[in-house]
Amino acid sequence: MSSQVKRVYEKPGPGDGTRILVDRLWPRGLSKKAAAVDKWLRDLAPSDELRKWYHAEQGGWTMFRKRYLRELSRPAAASALEELYQLARRGKVTLLFGSKNEDRNNAVVLKELLDGARKPPSGVGQSASRSRRARRMTRS
C-alpha cells in the first residue's frame, strides 16, 4: 500500500492519489475546493480529550501514540480505519492533517499502520478481514 502524509494547506499534487482528511474539524480558512479532499474520515481523528492532553503535555509523543492506537479500536474509529485500509488497497492515498507539527500527528500514526510499521488495533486491518471471512466460511 502506498501512502503519504501532507498538510491539508499544501497544494494538491498529481501524485497524491486519494486525498483523505483525518482531522475531526475542517481546517480553518480553507475552502473545500482549495483542500481538494476526496474523503473526510472524521472518526479517525483523536478524541478532543486526547488532542488537548497532547498539546498541553508537549513531548508526550510515545504516550499519545499508545492512547491514539487504543482509541482506534473503538467501533466508529475501527470502521473508519477499515474504510481507510480499503481505500489504500485500491491505490495511493494521501493522509491530510492540519497540525503545524508535520512529524508528530495522528496522520503519521495512520501512515505507519498502512505501511505495516505498526500493528493495527485488534479487530481491524487486513488480517482481521481474512479472519472474519474464514470464520464465515466455516460456519456455512
Which parts of the chain sit beneath pLDDT 50?
Answer: none
**What pLDDT sits at residue 56?**
85
**What pLDDT sits at residue 55?**
81
Task: Look up the pTM and report it.
Answer: 0.81
Name the residue type at position 7.
R
- Half-sphere exposure of 61 toward its Cβ, with a 13 Å CA cutoff? 8
Q: How many CB atoms lie within 10 A of CB 126?
A: 14
Model pLDDT for residues 65-97, shown as the tens digit of each residue = 999 999 999 999 999 999 999 999 999 999 999
Ordered alpha helix ranges (H), the chain: 32-35, 48-57, 61-71, 75-90, 106-114, 126-139
Q: How many CB atoms lie within 10 A of CB 63?
A: 13
**What pLDDT sits at residue 37?**
96
**What's the domain range around 117?**
3-139
Q: How many structural domains compose the chain? A: 1
Would you call 32 exposed, middle or buried from its count of C-beta atoms within 10 A (0-12, 13-18, 19+)? exposed
* CA distance linking residue 46 with residue 109, whole number of Å: 11
- List the one residue out of 100, 79, 114 whose CA is nearest residue 27: 100
* CA distance linking residue 90 with residue 131, whole number of Å: 20
C-alpha distances (whole Å) from 7 to each of 22, 36, 119 are 11, 12, 24
